[in-house]
Protein backbone atom coordinates (compact mmCIF):
# COMPACT_ATOMS: atom_id res chain seq x y z
CA UNK A 1 0.00 0.00 0.00
CA UNK A 2 1.42 3.41 -0.97
CA UNK A 3 1.76 6.37 1.37
CA UNK A 4 -0.94 8.15 -0.61
CA UNK A 5 -3.40 5.28 -0.15
CA UNK A 6 -2.74 5.26 3.60
CA UNK A 7 -3.72 8.94 3.81
CA UNK A 8 -7.02 8.44 1.96
CA UNK A 9 -10.16 8.13 4.01
CA UNK A 10 -13.89 8.35 3.30
CA UNK A 11 -15.96 10.52 5.67
CA UNK A 12 -19.29 9.53 4.13
CA UNK A 13 -21.24 7.61 6.81
CA UNK A 14 -22.80 4.31 5.86
CA UNK A 15 -26.58 4.03 5.86
CA UNK A 16 -26.45 2.31 9.26
CA UNK A 17 -24.10 4.93 10.69
CA UNK A 18 -26.36 7.71 9.43
CA UNK A 19 -29.42 6.16 11.05
CA UNK A 20 -27.49 5.74 14.29
CA UNK A 21 -26.36 9.36 14.12
CA UNK A 22 -29.93 10.56 13.85
CA UNK A 23 -30.84 8.59 16.97
CA UNK A 24 -27.80 9.90 18.87
CA UNK A 25 -28.39 13.49 17.84
CA UNK A 26 -32.02 13.35 18.88
CA UNK A 27 -31.11 11.80 22.24
CA UNK A 28 -28.37 14.40 22.78
CA UNK A 29 -30.75 17.24 21.98
CA UNK A 30 -33.81 16.06 23.89
CA UNK A 31 -32.33 14.20 26.88
CA UNK A 32 -28.87 15.72 27.38
CA UNK A 33 -28.80 19.32 26.23
CA UNK A 34 -32.18 20.05 27.76
CA UNK A 35 -30.99 18.86 31.19
CA UNK A 36 -27.36 20.00 31.08
CA UNK A 37 -27.67 23.24 33.05
CA UNK A 38 -29.73 21.69 35.86
CA UNK A 39 -27.31 18.76 36.05
CA UNK A 40 -24.33 21.10 36.27
CA UNK A 41 -25.96 23.12 39.04
CA UNK A 42 -26.89 19.97 40.98
CA UNK A 43 -23.52 18.33 40.40
CA UNK A 44 -25.13 15.02 39.46
CA UNK A 45 -26.50 13.22 36.43
CA UNK A 46 -30.23 13.60 35.70
CA UNK A 47 -32.34 10.91 37.34
CA UNK A 48 -33.09 8.10 34.94
CA UNK A 49 -30.73 9.30 32.22
CA UNK A 50 -28.41 6.29 32.28
CA UNK A 51 -31.33 3.87 32.20
CA UNK A 52 -32.51 5.56 28.99
CA UNK A 53 -29.10 5.16 27.36
CA UNK A 54 -29.53 1.37 27.32
CA UNK A 55 -32.11 1.78 24.55
CA UNK A 56 -29.41 3.28 22.34
CA UNK A 57 -27.92 -0.21 22.09
CA UNK A 58 -24.31 0.97 22.10
CA UNK A 59 -23.02 -1.76 24.41
CA UNK A 60 -24.42 -4.52 22.21
CA UNK A 61 -22.81 -3.43 18.93
CA UNK A 62 -19.18 -4.64 19.34
CA UNK A 63 -20.08 -7.85 21.19
CA UNK A 64 -20.26 -11.03 19.05
CA UNK A 65 -23.64 -12.66 18.60
CA UNK A 66 -22.35 -15.76 20.36
CA UNK A 67 -21.91 -13.65 23.50
CA UNK A 68 -25.31 -11.98 23.29
CA UNK A 69 -24.39 -8.93 21.23
CA UNK A 70 -25.25 -7.64 17.77
CA UNK A 71 -21.98 -8.76 16.21
CA UNK A 72 -21.38 -5.45 14.42
CA UNK A 73 -17.71 -5.59 15.39
CA UNK A 74 -15.34 -2.92 16.67
CA UNK A 75 -15.64 0.25 14.62
CA UNK A 76 -13.53 3.27 15.64
CA UNK A 77 -15.30 5.35 12.97
CA UNK A 78 -18.74 4.57 14.37
CA UNK A 79 -17.44 5.22 17.86
CA UNK A 80 -16.14 8.72 17.08
CA UNK A 81 -19.41 9.62 15.38
CA UNK A 82 -21.33 8.53 18.48
CA UNK A 83 -18.94 10.35 20.82
CA UNK A 84 -19.19 13.53 18.77
CA UNK A 85 -22.98 13.49 18.65
CA UNK A 86 -23.46 12.75 22.35
CA UNK A 87 -20.85 15.32 23.40
CA UNK A 88 -22.77 17.93 21.46
CA UNK A 89 -25.54 17.35 23.99
CA UNK A 90 -23.31 17.36 27.08
CA UNK A 91 -19.76 16.14 27.65
CA UNK A 92 -20.35 14.86 31.19
CA UNK A 93 -23.37 12.80 30.20
CA UNK A 94 -21.60 11.53 27.09
CA UNK A 95 -18.67 10.22 29.13
CA UNK A 96 -21.02 8.56 31.63
CA UNK A 97 -22.98 6.93 28.81
CA UNK A 98 -19.88 5.67 27.00
CA UNK A 99 -17.69 4.59 29.94
CA UNK A 100 -19.06 1.00 30.00
CA UNK A 101 -18.64 0.80 26.22
CA UNK A 102 -14.96 1.73 26.67
CA UNK A 103 -14.57 -1.31 28.94
CA UNK A 104 -16.29 -3.50 26.35
CA UNK A 105 -14.11 -2.16 23.54
CA UNK A 106 -10.96 -2.68 25.61
CA UNK A 107 -11.84 -6.27 26.48
CA UNK A 108 -12.99 -7.12 22.94
CA UNK A 109 -9.62 -5.83 21.72
CA UNK A 110 -7.30 -7.12 24.43
CA UNK A 111 -9.21 -9.48 26.73
CA UNK A 112 -9.07 -13.23 27.03
CA UNK A 113 -12.10 -15.31 25.93
CA UNK A 114 -13.08 -15.70 29.59
CA UNK A 115 -12.91 -11.93 30.16
CA UNK A 116 -14.93 -11.27 27.03
CA UNK A 117 -17.65 -13.58 28.25
CA UNK A 118 -17.60 -12.00 31.73
CA UNK A 119 -17.87 -8.45 30.38
CA UNK A 120 -20.59 -9.39 27.90
CA UNK A 121 -22.71 -10.96 30.62
CA UNK A 122 -22.31 -7.95 32.90
CA UNK A 123 -22.61 -5.04 30.48
CA UNK A 124 -24.78 -6.26 27.58
CA UNK A 125 -27.99 -6.23 29.58
CA UNK A 126 -31.33 -4.48 29.76
CA UNK A 127 -30.11 -2.37 32.68
CA UNK A 128 -27.33 0.19 32.76
CA UNK A 129 -24.33 -1.27 34.57
CA UNK A 130 -21.57 1.20 35.59
CA UNK A 131 -18.08 0.22 34.43
CA UNK A 132 -14.99 2.24 33.65
CA UNK A 133 -11.33 2.38 32.68
CA UNK A 134 -8.90 3.46 35.42
CA UNK A 135 -5.74 4.79 33.79
CA UNK A 136 -5.14 8.33 35.08
CA UNK A 137 -3.18 9.02 38.24
CA UNK A 138 -2.92 12.08 40.50
CA UNK A 139 0.06 14.38 40.43
CA UNK A 140 1.85 16.78 38.11
CA UNK A 141 3.26 15.38 34.89
CA UNK A 142 1.19 12.20 34.71
CA UNK A 143 2.65 9.88 32.06
CA UNK A 144 0.34 7.04 30.96
CA UNK A 145 3.42 5.03 29.93
CA UNK A 146 5.13 5.27 33.33
CA UNK A 147 2.50 4.46 35.89
CA UNK A 148 3.03 4.74 39.61
CA UNK A 149 0.42 2.06 40.27
CA UNK A 150 2.33 -1.21 40.53
CA UNK A 151 1.27 -4.81 39.93
CA UNK A 152 3.61 -7.20 41.75
CA UNK A 153 3.68 -10.79 40.53
CA UNK A 154 3.37 -13.40 43.25
CA UNK A 155 4.91 -16.87 43.31
CA UNK A 156 1.67 -18.57 42.28
CA UNK A 157 1.26 -16.32 39.21
CA UNK A 158 -1.27 -13.99 40.82
CA UNK A 159 -0.80 -10.21 41.22
CA UNK A 160 -1.08 -7.64 44.00
CA UNK A 161 -1.90 -4.07 42.95
CA UNK A 162 -0.95 -0.95 44.91
CA UNK A 163 -1.32 2.69 43.93
CA UNK A 164 -3.76 5.54 43.32
CA UNK A 165 -5.94 6.50 40.39
CA UNK A 166 -7.81 9.74 39.69
CA UNK A 167 -10.90 10.67 37.69
CA UNK A 168 -12.37 7.18 37.96
CA UNK A 169 -15.93 7.38 36.67
CA UNK A 170 -18.66 5.95 38.93
CA UNK A 171 -16.15 5.02 41.64
CA UNK A 172 -17.68 2.60 44.16
CA UNK A 173 -20.72 2.09 41.90
CA UNK A 174 -18.61 0.60 39.09
CA UNK A 175 -19.20 -3.12 38.77
CA UNK A 176 -16.14 -3.68 36.59
CA UNK A 177 -12.96 -1.68 36.12
CA UNK A 178 -10.03 -2.11 33.78
CA UNK A 179 -7.11 -0.95 35.90
CA UNK A 180 -3.79 -0.14 34.25
CA UNK A 181 -0.66 -0.77 36.29
CA UNK A 182 3.07 -1.19 35.80
CA UNK A 183 4.44 -4.73 35.89
CA UNK A 184 8.17 -4.84 36.49
CA UNK A 185 10.03 -5.65 33.30
CA UNK A 186 6.84 -5.57 31.20
CA UNK A 187 5.59 -1.99 31.45
CA UNK A 188 1.94 -0.99 31.43
CA UNK A 189 -0.51 -3.88 31.66
CA UNK A 190 -4.28 -4.03 32.09
CA UNK A 191 -6.31 -5.95 34.69
CA UNK A 192 -10.03 -6.64 34.83
CA UNK A 193 -11.07 -5.88 38.41
CA UNK A 194 -14.39 -6.42 40.17
CA UNK A 195 -15.68 -3.22 41.73
CA UNK A 196 -16.15 -4.83 45.15
CA UNK A 197 -12.62 -6.27 45.36
CA UNK A 198 -10.99 -6.10 48.79
CA UNK A 199 -8.48 -3.26 49.05
CA UNK A 200 -10.32 -0.78 46.81
CA UNK A 201 -11.44 2.51 48.35
CA UNK A 202 -12.87 5.67 46.77
CA UNK A 203 -13.14 9.37 47.52
CA UNK A 204 -15.33 11.75 45.49
CA UNK A 205 -13.46 14.42 43.52
CA UNK A 206 -14.77 17.85 42.51
CA UNK A 207 -13.65 19.75 39.41
CA UNK A 208 -14.44 23.05 37.72
CA UNK A 209 -15.91 21.16 34.77
CA UNK A 210 -17.64 17.81 34.24
CA UNK A 211 -19.56 18.50 37.44
CA UNK A 212 -22.44 16.05 36.86
CA UNK A 213 -20.04 13.19 36.14
CA UNK A 214 -19.34 11.11 39.28
CA UNK A 215 -15.53 11.13 39.41
CA UNK A 216 -13.51 9.54 42.20
CA UNK A 217 -9.97 9.08 43.43
CA UNK A 218 -9.32 5.37 43.85
CA UNK A 219 -6.79 3.79 46.19
CA UNK A 220 -5.56 0.24 45.62
CA UNK A 221 -4.19 -1.23 48.82
CA UNK A 222 -2.85 -4.75 48.29
CA UNK A 223 -5.62 -5.67 45.85
CA UNK A 224 -5.09 -9.37 45.17
CA UNK A 225 -5.97 -10.58 41.68
CA UNK A 226 -5.70 -13.97 40.01
CA UNK A 227 -3.60 -14.35 36.89
CA UNK A 228 -6.85 -14.68 34.91
CA UNK A 229 -7.61 -11.01 35.62
CA UNK A 230 -4.70 -9.86 33.46
CA UNK A 231 -5.55 -8.89 29.89
CA UNK A 232 -4.44 -11.21 27.11
CA UNK A 233 -0.84 -11.72 26.04
CA UNK A 234 0.24 -9.17 23.46
CA UNK A 235 -1.57 -6.33 25.24
CA UNK A 236 -0.78 -3.13 23.33
CA UNK A 237 -0.91 -0.13 25.67
CA UNK A 238 0.24 2.27 22.95
CA UNK A 239 -2.65 1.33 20.69
CA UNK A 240 -5.18 1.81 23.49
CA UNK A 241 -3.63 5.17 24.36
CA UNK A 242 -3.98 6.29 20.74
CA UNK A 243 -7.61 5.12 20.63
CA UNK A 244 -8.22 7.11 23.81
CA UNK A 245 -6.71 10.20 22.23
CA UNK A 246 -9.05 9.90 19.27
CA UNK A 247 -12.02 9.58 21.64
CA UNK A 248 -10.99 12.70 23.58
CA UNK A 249 -10.65 14.61 20.31
CA UNK A 250 -14.15 13.48 19.30
CA UNK A 251 -15.47 14.83 22.62
CA UNK A 252 -13.90 18.16 21.68
CA UNK A 253 -15.52 18.18 18.24
CA UNK A 254 -19.00 17.63 19.65
CA UNK A 255 -18.68 20.18 22.43
CA UNK A 256 -17.14 22.79 20.14
CA UNK A 257 -19.96 22.25 17.66
CA UNK A 258 -22.45 23.00 20.45
CA UNK A 259 -20.62 26.27 21.11
CA UNK A 260 -20.69 27.25 17.43
CA UNK A 261 -24.35 26.32 17.02
CA UNK A 262 -25.20 28.59 19.95
CA UNK A 263 -23.12 31.65 19.11
CA UNK A 264 -24.17 31.95 15.44
CA UNK A 265 -27.82 32.81 16.17
CA UNK A 266 -26.71 34.88 19.16
CA UNK A 267 -24.46 37.21 17.14
CA UNK A 268 -27.08 37.46 14.40
CA UNK A 269 -29.81 38.46 16.86
CA UNK A 270 -27.80 40.57 19.32
CA UNK A 271 -28.19 44.22 18.33
CA UNK A 272 -25.69 46.91 19.29
CA UNK A 273 -25.63 50.46 17.89
CA UNK A 274 -28.61 49.70 15.69
CA UNK A 275 -27.33 46.57 13.93
CA UNK A 276 -26.56 42.88 14.63
CA UNK A 277 -23.08 42.46 16.06
CA UNK A 278 -22.37 39.89 13.32
CA UNK A 279 -22.20 42.81 10.90
CA UNK A 280 -18.91 43.78 12.50
CA UNK A 281 -15.91 42.17 10.85
CA UNK A 282 -14.18 41.30 14.12
CA UNK A 283 -17.20 39.22 15.18
CA UNK A 284 -17.78 37.65 11.77
CA UNK A 285 -14.12 36.68 11.39
CA UNK A 286 -14.06 35.13 14.88
CA UNK A 287 -17.09 32.98 14.06
CA UNK A 288 -15.54 31.99 10.72
CA UNK A 289 -12.30 31.01 12.49
CA UNK A 290 -14.24 28.88 14.96
CA UNK A 291 -16.03 27.04 12.13
CA UNK A 292 -12.75 26.48 10.28
CA UNK A 293 -10.96 25.18 13.37
CA UNK A 294 -13.80 22.79 14.23
CA UNK A 295 -13.96 21.40 10.73
CA UNK A 296 -10.19 20.92 10.64
CA UNK A 297 -10.30 19.10 13.96
CA UNK A 298 -13.18 16.94 12.79
CA UNK A 299 -11.22 15.84 9.72
CA UNK A 300 -8.19 14.98 11.86
CA UNK A 301 -10.38 12.82 14.09
CA UNK A 302 -12.05 11.07 11.17
CA UNK A 303 -8.72 10.37 9.48
CA UNK A 304 -7.25 8.84 12.66
CA UNK A 305 -10.36 6.73 13.25
CA UNK A 306 -10.41 5.63 9.61
CA UNK A 307 -6.79 4.52 9.76
CA UNK A 308 -7.44 2.62 13.00
CA UNK A 309 -10.42 0.85 11.43
CA UNK A 310 -8.38 -0.16 8.39
CA UNK A 311 -5.60 -1.61 10.54
CA UNK A 312 -3.06 1.03 9.55
CA UNK A 313 -0.59 2.78 11.84
CA UNK A 314 -2.63 5.63 13.34
CA UNK A 315 -0.32 6.69 16.19
CA UNK A 316 0.75 9.95 14.55
CA UNK A 317 -2.76 10.83 13.38
CA UNK A 318 -4.18 10.19 16.85
CA UNK A 319 -1.50 12.39 18.42
CA UNK A 320 -2.18 15.24 16.01
CA UNK A 321 -5.94 15.01 16.57
CA UNK A 322 -5.45 15.00 20.34
CA UNK A 323 -3.06 17.95 20.39
CA UNK A 324 -5.34 19.93 18.07
CA UNK A 325 -8.34 19.12 20.28
CA UNK A 326 -6.59 20.50 23.36
CA UNK A 327 -5.45 23.65 21.54
CA UNK A 328 -8.50 24.51 19.46
CA UNK A 329 -11.05 23.14 21.89
CA UNK A 330 -9.86 25.67 24.43
CA UNK A 331 -9.73 28.42 21.81
CA UNK A 332 -13.28 27.75 20.61
CA UNK A 333 -14.53 27.74 24.19
CA UNK A 334 -12.73 31.03 24.93
CA UNK A 335 -13.97 32.66 21.73
CA UNK A 336 -17.51 31.51 22.46
CA UNK A 337 -17.42 33.25 25.84
CA UNK A 338 -15.88 36.33 24.23
CA UNK A 339 -18.57 36.61 21.54
CA UNK A 340 -21.26 36.80 24.20
CA UNK A 341 -19.49 39.71 25.86
CA UNK A 342 -20.71 40.23 29.41
CA UNK A 343 -23.32 37.50 28.91
CA UNK A 344 -20.49 35.03 28.41
CA UNK A 345 -19.47 35.48 32.04
CA UNK A 346 -22.95 34.73 33.36
CA UNK A 347 -24.60 31.37 33.98
CA UNK A 348 -27.64 32.53 32.03
CA UNK A 349 -26.08 31.09 28.88
CA UNK A 350 -24.50 27.61 28.51
CA UNK A 351 -21.28 28.79 26.87
CA UNK A 352 -19.46 29.12 30.20
CA UNK A 353 -20.45 25.51 30.98
CA UNK A 354 -18.97 24.30 27.70
CA UNK A 355 -15.85 26.39 28.35
CA UNK A 356 -15.34 24.70 31.73
CA UNK A 357 -15.85 21.24 30.23
CA UNK A 358 -13.42 21.92 27.39
CA UNK A 359 -10.76 22.70 29.99
CA UNK A 360 -10.83 19.00 30.89
CA UNK A 361 -9.60 17.80 27.49
CA UNK A 362 -5.93 17.88 28.52
CA UNK A 363 -6.45 15.53 31.48
CA UNK A 364 -8.77 12.85 30.11
CA UNK A 365 -6.18 10.23 29.10
CA UNK A 366 -7.55 6.72 29.05
CA UNK A 367 -11.19 7.48 29.91
CA UNK A 368 -12.86 6.48 26.61
CA UNK A 369 -11.80 4.48 23.55
CA UNK A 370 -12.63 5.06 19.89
Give residue-wise pLDDT tens across range 12-34: 788 888 999 999 999 999 999 99
In the chain, the percentage of residues whose pLDDT exceeds 70 is 97
Tell me the mean pLDDT in the region 114-120.
Answer: 95
pLDDT in tens, 179-220: 999 999 999 999 999 999 999 999 999 999 999 999 999 999
Q: CB–CB of 330/358 below 8 Å?
A: yes
Tell me the mean pLDDT in the region 273-300.
Answer: 94
> How far is residue 304's CA from residue 263's CA, in Å, rounded to a whole number?
29
Tell me the mean pLDDT in the region 103-132.
Answer: 94
Tell me the mean pLDDT in the region 294-319.
Answer: 96
- What confidence tier does 114 reach under pLDDT thresholds 50, 70, 90? very high
pLDDT in tens, 121-179: 999 988 999 999 999 999 877 788 889 999 999 989 899 999 999 999 999 999 999 99
> How far is residue 350's CA from residue 191's CA, in Å, rounded to a whole number?
39
For residue 126, which phi and psi values (nearest 5 degrees)? -80, -5
The C-alpha angle 103, 108, 111, rounded to 5 degrees, equals: 85
pLDDT in tens, 222-270: 999 999 999 987 789 999 999 999 999 999 999 999 999 999 999 999 8
> How far is residue 207's CA from residue 197's CA, in Å, rounded to a whole number?
27
- What confidence tier does 5 reach under pLDDT thresholds 50, 70, 90? low
- Domains identified in the chain and CATH numbers: 3-129 (1.10.540.10), 134-229 (2.40.110.10), 237-363 (1.20.140.10)
Whether this prediction's pTM lies above 0.85 is answered by yes
Tell me the mean pLDDT in the region 297-317.
Answer: 95
Amino acid sequence: MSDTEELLFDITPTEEQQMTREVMQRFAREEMAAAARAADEAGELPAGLLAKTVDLGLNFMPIPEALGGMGAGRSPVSNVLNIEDLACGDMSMAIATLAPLAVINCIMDCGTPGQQERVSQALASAQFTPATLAWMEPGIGFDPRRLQTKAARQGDGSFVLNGRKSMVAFGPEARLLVVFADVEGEGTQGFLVEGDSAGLSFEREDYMGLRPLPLYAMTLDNVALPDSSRLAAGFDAERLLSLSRIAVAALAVGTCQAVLDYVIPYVNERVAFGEPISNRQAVAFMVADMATEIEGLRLLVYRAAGQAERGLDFTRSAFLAHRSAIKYGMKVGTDGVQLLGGHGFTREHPVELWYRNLRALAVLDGMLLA
